[in-house]
């Protein structure tokens, strides 16, 4: 009876430990309000507009993630949903890494720690790439499900849902596709057809929208150098930092511990554990997972090193090949290297612990291995040392929403016409302007970025039209240009030290730092053609069919297990 109790506890221990790590890392992010940091913008009620469906004029960078959130926040409040997503992603990541590692409590706990508490997770949290983290969270489970498919010949019921969750953005869709192909592929044509159908359906919305936007889907070649994996993160050469899963391009997202000797210590620790594992612990890794783990690590490392070493080539690819810009931020591909890194760390720690003959020594060494990654990156705790503090939206936002509800239909432009804000009520932290999502109307947003003094051209033709219109010499001319672009309403925000071009029109109301201006009726906003709507309807139908099939199969599998 005692052995059975310990066995059950040992099974759940990695998941409980992953939950502890997730709560410790998220810290204040789990408090009341929303976490707003760089690209992470959640609002109380996201509308299901043209951009979310891939039918807008902008590239589908948030397809299908925005559509999924827009549907789910009708059931779960956006504030709660954001916390569930972040917490669930990290817990799933840790428990999945433990499952990949095979047997051994120490190995599983160390694998969970390394997979959750690493620079990749911290940096992507700081920069707000939550769909990347969701895909990262299901990556181990995709590998396990793919290996099960290969072993049994039967498609696991959970794989369809895992692929959908792991494909909430273009980059994560590519990472998940590599993982499932590496784990499940075999020589039979039937298997390859099955993989193509699954991967194609899971990624259909962003692929279809990207093809429809192919004319604008090339990116600024300059961006490849700006977004290249960082060579300035710490004391070691960049490739050594890649081994510990660090290298985000944005220096402000790098924790301070990554710039000193602690990062060197983490590198030494992971390299030594990997060396021990390859010599003494590799045989404990399930056979069907060894090749997929190596393939994923190799693909991830090759891509990140290539985009770091050859930014000019990456830039030419992004500037000439539609969709080539997906590879600009090559450090995202480090997600593929994480499963093997965690497994080797776990198996290496298990082998080291077994060297010691007495229980006390084993316990001390095991605790040291489990806690070392946390100790070597302490500023990841408590919401990345306060970076992820949750905040409430200012009351002026709700005032603007109420004002717009009384006005005629029409698209909106936000001034200053810039991508990012650093509002005081958000602690001065930079964030993609949240007002556009909060308003519940279609907003033409600036997609041109300025990074380190470099201006990266955008791709949205409507944004370019608005930008040109705002450059007109007089307020009346600017209003006329906006009307011609299909814009009816302007929301002006009072931002310190930023000059805003005056636009002629009727001031509907002022709400704190916001002023709503009606420039009058003009041209109708552009609408997608029938062909575009049909193409996206087919893509979403494929996506929804995969979701339906996955849910039905999961339900049947659970009933079957319950009956047994």
Q: What is the pLDDT of residue 116?
A: 99
d(CA 158, CA 141): 9
For 169-187, the pLDDT digits (tens) are 999 999 999 999 999 999 8
Q: Is the pLDDT reported for residue 71 higher than 90?
A: yes
One domain, residues 152 and 293: yes
Domain contains 544? no
One domain, residues 374 and 404: no
Domain contains 379? yes
For 53-98, the DSSP string reads TT-SSS--TTTTHHHHHHHHTTTS-HHHHHHHHHHHHHHHHHHHHH
pLDDT band at 327; cut points 50, 70, 90: confident
Q: What is the H or E stretch that residue 412 is in?
A: strand 411-415
- Percent of the chain topping pLDDT 90: 82
Q: Is the pLDDT reported for residue 1 higher than 60?
A: no
Q: What is the pLDDT of residue 230?
A: 79
Q: What is the pLDDT of residue 556?
A: 79
- Percent of the chain topping pLDDT 70: 96
One domain, residues 281 and 164: yes
One domain, residues 362 and 450: no
Domain contains 524? no
Helix (H, G, I), strand (E, B), or coil: what is residue 491?
Answer: strand
Domain contains 403? yes
Q: What is the pLDDT of residue 46?
A: 97
Q: Of 339, 358, 386, at which residue does a domain stop?
A: 386
Q: Of 355, 386, 417, at which residue does a domain stop?
A: 386
For 511-533, the pLDDT digits (tens) are 999 999 999 999 999 999 999 99
Terminal C-alpha separation, the chain: 22
Q: Domain of residue 508: give its range.
A: 395-518
One domain, residues 308 and 427: no
Q: What is the pLDDT of residue 319?
A: 75
Domain contains 536? no
Domain contains 510? yes
One domain, residues 185 and 277: yes
Q: Is the pLDDT reported for residue 35 higher than 70?
A: yes
Q: Is the pLDDT reported for residue 221 higher than 70?
A: no
511 secondary structure, DSSP code: E
Q: Is the pLDDT reported for residue 325 higher than 90?
A: no
Residue 425: phi and psi, rounded to 5, are -70, -10
**Cβ atoms of 330 and 293 closer than 8 Å:** no
One domain, residues 377 and 489: no
One domain, residues 399 and 381: no
- For β-strands 506-511 and 487-493, DSSP reports them as unpaired
One domain, residues 486 and 514: yes
Q: Of 326, 355, 386, at which residue does a domain stop?
A: 386
One domain, residues 456 and 371: no
For 330-339, the pLDDT digits (tens) are 899 999 999 9
Helix (H) and strand (E) counts in the chain? 23, 9
- Region 220-228 average pLDDT: 74
Domain contains 282? yes
One domain, residues 380 and 436: no
pLDDT band at 318; cut points 50, 70, 90: confident
Lowest mean pLDDT among 5-19, 152-166, 431-445, 524-538: 5-19
SS3 content of the chain, % helix, strand, coil (to 5): 65, 5, 30
338 CB contacts (<8 Å, ≥6 apart)? 97, 115, 118, 120, 136, 139, 245, 300
For 456-501, the pLDDT digits (tens) are 888 899 999 999 999 999 999 999 999 999 999 999 999 988 889 9
- Structurally, the chain folds into a number of domains equal to 2
523 secondary structure, DSSP code: S
For 109-119, the pLDDT digits (tens) are 999 999 999 99
d(CA 376, CA 330): 25
Q: Is the pLDDT reported for residue 8 higher than 70?
A: no
One domain, residues 101 and 234: yes
The candidate with the shortest Cα–Cα distance to 93, out of 56, 62, 133, is 133
Show the tokens assigned to 511.
């709400």
- Region 343-359 average pLDDT: 96
- Region 14-20 average pLDDT: 98
What is the average pLDDT score of the chain?
A: 93
Q: Is the pLDDT reported for residue 564 higher than 70?
A: no
d(CA 174, CA 178): 6
pTM above 0.85, yes or no: yes
Q: What is the pLDDT of residue 455?
A: 79
Domain contains 556? no
């Amino acid at each position: 009876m005692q052995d059975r109790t310990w066995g059950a506890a040992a099974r759940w221990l990695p998941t409980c430990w992953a939950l502890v790590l997730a709560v410790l890392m998220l810290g204040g992010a789990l408090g009341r309000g929303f976490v707003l940091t760089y690209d992470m913008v959640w609002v109380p009620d996201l509308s299901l507009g043209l951009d979310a469906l891939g039918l807008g004029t902008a590239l589908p960078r948030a397809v299908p993630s925005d559509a999924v959130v827009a549907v789910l926040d009708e059931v779960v409040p956006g504030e709660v949903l954001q916390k569930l997503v972040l917490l669930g992603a990290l817990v799933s990541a840790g428990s999945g890494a433990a499952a990949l590692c095979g047997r051994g409590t120490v190995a599983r706990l160390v694998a969970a720690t390394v997979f959750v508490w690493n620079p990749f997770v911290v940096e992507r949290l700081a920069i707000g790439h939550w769909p990347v983290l969701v895909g990262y969270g299901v990556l181990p489970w995709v590998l396990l499900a793919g290996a099960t498919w290969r072993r049994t010949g039967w498609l696991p019921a959970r794989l369809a849902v895992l692929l959908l969750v792991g494909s909430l953005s273009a980059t994560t869709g590519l990472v998940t596709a590599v993982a499932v192909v590496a784990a499940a592929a075999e020589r039979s044509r039937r298997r390859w057809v099955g993989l193509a159908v699954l991967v194609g359906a899971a990624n259909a919305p962003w692929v279809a929208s990207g093809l429809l936007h192919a004319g604008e889907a090339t990116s600024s070649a300059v961006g490849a150098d700006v977004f290249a994996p960082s060579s300035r993160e710490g004391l070691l050469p960049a490739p050594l930092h890649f081994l510990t899963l660090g290298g985000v391009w944005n220096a402000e997202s790098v924790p301070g511990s990554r710039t000193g000797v602690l990062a060197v210590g983490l590198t030494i620790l992971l390299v030594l554990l990997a060396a021990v594992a390859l010599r003494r612990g590799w045989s404990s890794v399930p056979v069907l997972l060894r090749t997929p783990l190596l393939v994923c690590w190799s693909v991830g490392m090759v891509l990140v090193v290539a985009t770091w070493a050859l930014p000019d080539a990456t830039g030419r690819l992004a500037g000439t090949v539609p969709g080539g810009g997906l590879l600009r931020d090559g450090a995202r591909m480090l997600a593929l290297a994480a499963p093997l890194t965690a497994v080797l760390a776990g198996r290496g720690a298990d082998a080291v612990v077994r060297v010691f003959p007495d229980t006390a020594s084993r316990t001390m060494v095991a605790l040291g291995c489990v806690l070392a990654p946390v100790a070597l990156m302490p500023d990841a705790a408590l919401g990345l040392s306060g970076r992820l503090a949750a905040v409430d939206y200012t009351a002026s936002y709700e005032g603007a929403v109420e004002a717009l509800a009384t006005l005629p239909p029409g698209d909106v432009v936000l001034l200053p016409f810039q991508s990012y804000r650093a509002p005081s009520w958000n602690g001065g932290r930079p964030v993609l302007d949240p007002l556009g999502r909060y308003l519940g109307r279609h907003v033409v947003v600036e997609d041109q970025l300025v990074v380190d003094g470099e201006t990266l051209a955008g791709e949205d033709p409507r944004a370019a039209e608005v930008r040109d219109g705002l450059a007109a010499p007089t307020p009346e001319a600017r209003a006329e240009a906006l009307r011609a672009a299909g814009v009816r309403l302007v929301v002006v925000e009072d931002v310190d030290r930023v000059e805003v071009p005056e636009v002629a029109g009727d001031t509907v109301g002022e709400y704190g730092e916001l002023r709503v201006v009606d420039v009058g009726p003009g041209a109708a906003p552009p609408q997608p053609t029938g062909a575009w709507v049909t193409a996206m309807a087919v893509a979403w139908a494929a996506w929804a069919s995969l979701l339906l099939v996955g849910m039905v199969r999961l339900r049947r599998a659970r009933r079957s297990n319950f009956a047994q």
